[in-house]
Amino acid sequence: MTSPYGFEGRVAIVTGASRGIGLAVAEAFVAAGARVCVTARDADGLARAVARLGDAVGLAGTVADPAHLRRLTELAMDEYGRIDVVVNNAATNQPYGPLMDADPDRWREAFTVNVEAPLRLTQHAWRAWMREHGGSVVNVCTEGATHVGPRLGAYGTSKAALLHLTQQLAGELAPGVRVNSVSPGLVRTEMARFVWDRPAQEPAADLPLGRMGEPEDIARAVLWLTSDEAQWITGTDLLVDGGTRVRRAHEPTP
């Protein structure tokens, strides 16, 4: 991927970056001239991602571990001496199923990964660099955070909380740090495979733009939001869904 935005000399932390959206985001930053510090739970997958990225360092671990987020921040500072961008992409869609059947501990884990971890990492980056030098944070949310969906109650509720956290931090960290979110629709990732990998059905055929999203579609949105081209934008959620919400708005009322 090539980019019209110059990130030369800047450093980005990207979570959940061994594959899918996170890896595409990291690749977009490197293509734009940035250096990246990436993390993911899968150590082997992360090692392959770092080798593929080139100008990158990685630290395997879970964002649910507060100590891991601290070490990740320290790695970025030790290797590159600055943190200009944080992309909170790592997420879990578990527990999957009706909320009346949900294990409260698994429910709590969803909020730990999807809400608490983005806050903790933003805190670390703020204290280590952004408070004095500024920067940009993007939280990867979901198009489904604004409506009710079957079997994804924990995921949707936690992502709705992340949307509010995004706006809260945008108000608190201005003017030096911009905080925004990107909300993807259906994207061809492993996490969403259970939705799109159905041979008898094309789940995005009826979207206004006629296809499901690819990780690179989300990466371009993240790159723009963190660039100087978006320097007067904060507290905003950028919907990248191929027209899903437009389609829903025009569905006939039962």
Q: In what order do the strands lie in the sheet with 177-184?
A: 56-60, 35-40, 11-15, 85-88, 135-140, 177-184, 237-240
Instruction: Count Cα neighbours of 53 within 13 Å in the Cβ-side half-sphere.
Output: 32
Length of the chain equals 254
- For residue 111, the surrounding DSSP H or E stretch is helix 104-111
For residue 209, give the 3-state DSSP assignment: coil
Report how far apart, in Å, the C-alpha atoms of 48 and of each of 20, 23, 38, 57, 146 are.
Answer: 13, 10, 12, 11, 35
The closest alpha carbon to 76, from 149, 130, 145, 147, belongs to 130
Angle of CA points 31, 36, 40, to nearest 5°: 115
Rounded Cα–Cα distance for residues 91 and 110 (Å)? 8
Told to judge if 80 belongs to the known catalytic residues of this protein, a careful annotator would answer no
From 5, 80, 96, 155, active-site residue: 155
Rounded Cα–Cα distance for residues 162 and 142 (Å)? 10
* Residues recognised as catalytic: 155
